[in-house]
Amino acid sequence: MKAKAVRAGKGWLDRKLASPKFRKGFEEEVQKLAIGEQLSRLRQEAGLTQAQVAQRAKTTASAISRYENAAYDRYELRTLQRIVLACGGRLDINMEPGPKTHRAA
């Protein structure tokens, strides 16, 4: 029964993703979720608390909490880099072309 519900949900999502507007919003939310999750995982793997990272990154523990929150979308590159470095990590930014929706003249 559970597998059937998952297939039905996937079908619904596939239909919704056919809309360019929905797909754009969906992909933006997935990216925000990924950033917060990666920051949290990096910090935890370094064995650090949010307060410790904040001290190293010269910011506040509440700022670290915001950056780890999937709902947050006001990342500043400089702060993001300081947080990653404070955890002993390296920040890589990758850009990829999306699906072609129009051609250049």
> Is it the case that residue 30 has pLDDT exceeding 80?
no
Name which residue leads in pLDDT, 86 or 17: 86
Residue 79: what residue type?
T
- So what's the pLDDT on residue 1? 53
Name which residue leads in pLDDT, 96 or 41: 41
Confidence class for position 6, pLDDT limits 50, 70, 90: low
Q: In whole angstroms, what is the distance from residue 46 CA to residue 87 CA?
A: 6
Residue keyed to tokens 């523990």: 61
- So what's the pLDDT on residue 86? 98
H helix runs in the chain, sequence order: 2-17, 20-45, 50-57, 61-68, 77-86
> Is it the case that residue 12 has pLDDT exceeding 90?
no
Residue keyed to tokens 């955890």: 87
17-87 homologous superfamily: lambda repressor-like DNA-binding domains (1.10.260.40)
> Is it the case that residue 29 has pLDDT exceeding 80?
no
CA triple 17-6-18, angle to 5 deg: 10
For range 51-65, the mean pLDDT: 98
Of 48, 46, 74, 70, give the one whose Cα is nearest residue 61.
48
